[in-house]
Amino acid sequence: MKELFSPRWFKSRASESLPDEALRRNIERATETALKKRADVVGAFPEWESYRTAARAVKEHVLENLSSYLASFEEHARANGSTVLYARDGVEACALVMDIVLSAGTRTVVKSKSMTSEEIGLSAALGRSGIQAVETDLGEYIVQLAGEPPSHITAPALHKSRRDIGRLFEQKLGLPYSDEPETLTAVARSVLRDRFFEAGVGISGVNFGLADSGAICVVENEGNARMATTLPPVHIALMGVEKLLPDMRCLALFLDMLARSATGQRLSSYTSIIRGPKRADEWDGPDVLYIIILDNGRTDIFADSRFRSVLSCIRCGACLNVCPVYRVVGGHAYGSAYPGPIGAVLAPFFHGKEDGRHLPYASSLCGACAEICPVRIDIPRLLLLHRGETVRERRAPLIERFLMKAYACVVKRPALYALTGHLLRAFAPLATDEHGLLRIPTRAKTRTFPAPAEKTFREIWKEEGIGST
């Protein structure tokens, strides 16, 4: 299963999901709604463009000063009573979590939504040691019940219809079938409420870490993250090393952008700024807070200045919503914790250059992602860079390399180039659909291909004798 869930199989997975009309409509409904709401709130925010510029500048500033911000974060977090740990990769991070969970003597862990934990396969790792990690975000809970990975960064179950979810709850929880969102939500609420009280450890992600205070910020709508970070005696926060912001003023800037981009809200329901474990005189809150700072390939991205901008990503998911490819293939086809345009940029880093090489090609380069990205990541440009690497490292298909060589040969020889018109006309009858012998593979099945004109423009121009420069 793990092996199958790899971007290497993008193409075959995509062709499985393409004919799925129901899936398409589920995705369309979800993405259209999110985009419309986003357009409304962003439209009412005249400063948006300058905020985008500033947000990106802040992120770059943080990376430029990462050593000192990290040192400051760590120092303040410790002073506030948190324990700061580091993990080079997913395996180390999972091992750290495991140690903490085991020493807490608990079998139940509640998780709030965290893309970082998906990235490192934390739930599976805990499961292998007999520890039940319960996803508590409704969407995550749904996909966990279904035994699937999330299909979207911010809306994990967006590929499922209410009927799918109704049937799933009926099967897995043995409840009478209902497809009312209210009823289904109430079921999840009551099932999960007990888990929050049982769990010895709560695990969350981190949206932002504040370098000047050692605080972490967790953004959500349901209240499950507040519960997971308040009720269990131990709270583990998983934070990518790039998540730091200098201070609360910068946080204000990013909060203005995150919810607007993700869901079209002005602000998410709950934004928790957790400064440490509960104070001695406070009544509730975790007794201990572990912050695990994760590298897992991030410093490799950091080291390559061409790709550094992807570390500015705030995982808002807007680029997925607007991506024409994502919208027809769905999140699962990508075979990565991060689907969509940003996932295509991350794949060669997180899944290796061989397995990750297809995703950067799975884009029409329409640029809608770059246009919507709140931190102005020029995703198409980064995809082109990946493509360039793939070619440079000779991972591209042989036939393609050959054709491109031929092409480069022709373009610098106008006489030869002019011949292509003749050639095309000669071969066209063989290639056009229906009766053609060659058939342009697959293209012709669903689209007709125009026949070449009788004469190319250059031929006509010459005949008309208007002359040339």
Are 234 and 288 in contact by the 8 Å Cβ rule? The answer is yes
Q: Which does 103 bind (CB under 5 to 8 A by kind): another protein, ligand SF4, none?
A: none
Q: Which does 167 bind (CB under 5 to 8 A by kind): ligand SF4, another protein, none?
A: none
Return the range that interacts with another protein (CB under 8 A); candidates 119-127, 310-318, 324-332, 344-352.
324-332
User: At closest approach, how far in Å is the CB of 132 from another protein?
Assistant: 18
Footprint on residues 372-401 left by another protein (CB under 8 A): 381, 384-392, 396, 400
Candidates 120, 157, 239, 316; binder of another protein (CB under 8 A) is 157
Are 242 and 63 in contact by the 8 Å Cβ rule? The answer is yes
Q: Which does 21 bind (CB under 5 to 8 A by kind): ligand SF4, another protein, none?
A: none
Q: What does the block give as tokens for 411?
A: 């373009």
Query: Which among 336, 314, 311, 226 is positioned nearest to 262, based on CA atoms?
Result: 314
Query: What type of residue sits at position 27?
Result: I
Nearer to another protein, 190 or 437 (CB): 190
**Under the criterion CB under 6 A, does residue 377 sit at the interface with ligand SF4?**
yes
**Under the criterion CB under 6 A, does residue 342 sit at the interface with ligand SF4?**
yes
Query: Which among 273, 217, 264 is positioned nearest to 243, based on CA atoms?
Result: 217
> 């659909």: which residue's tokens?
433
**Under the criterion CB under 6 A, does residue 359 sit at the interface with ligand SF4?**
no
Alpha carbon distance 148, 156 (integer Å):
10
Q: Which does 450 bind (CB under 5 to 8 A by kind): ligand SF4, another protein, none?
A: another protein
**Under the criterion CB under 6 A, does residue 205 sit at the interface with ligand SF4?**
no
**Under the criterion CB under 8 A, does residue 176 sit at the interface with another protein?**
no
| Separation of first and last alpha carbons in the chain | 63
User: At closest approach, how far in Å is the CB of 459 from ligand SF4?
Assistant: 46
Candidates 78, 167, 327, 353; binder of another protein (CB under 8 A) is 327
**Under the criterion CB under 8 A, does residue 222 sit at the interface with another protein?**
yes
Are 319 and 132 in contact by the 8 Å Cβ rule? The answer is no
β-strands 108-111, 201-205: how paired? parallel
Query: What type of residue sits at position 439?
Result: R
Tell me how many degrees the CA angle 143-149-154 measures, rounded to the nearest 5.
80
55 burial level (CB within 10 Å; 0-12, 13-18, 19+):
buried
**Under the criterion CB under 8 A, does residue 124 sit at the interface with another protein?**
no
User: At closest approach, how far in Å is the CB of 377 from ligand SF4?
Assistant: 5
Return the range that interacts with another protein (CB under 8 A); candidates 115-123, 310-318, 338-346, 416-424.
416-424
Q: What is the DSSP letter of 274?
A: E
Say how many CA atoms lie within 13 Å of 132 toward its Cβ. Answer: 12
Footprint on residues 429-448 left by ligand SF4 (CB under 6 A): none
Footprint on residues 5-24 left by another protein (CB under 8 A): 11, 14-15, 18
Q: Which does 4 bind (CB under 5 to 8 A by kind): another protein, ligand SF4, none?
A: none
Alpha carbon distance 330, 362 (integer Å):
13
Alpha carbon distance 64, 58 (integer Å):
10
Footprint on residues 35-74 left by another protein (CB under 8 A): 47, 50-51, 53-54, 57-58, 61, 63-71
**Under the criterion CB under 6 A, does residue 373 sit at the interface with ligand SF4?**
yes
Q: How far is CA 395 from CA 10, 150, 387, 391, 414, in A?
A: 16, 30, 10, 6, 30
**Under the criterion CB under 8 A, does residue 435 sit at the interface with another protein?**
no
- For ligand SF4, the binding residues (CB under 6 A) are 261, 313-319, 342, 372-375, 377
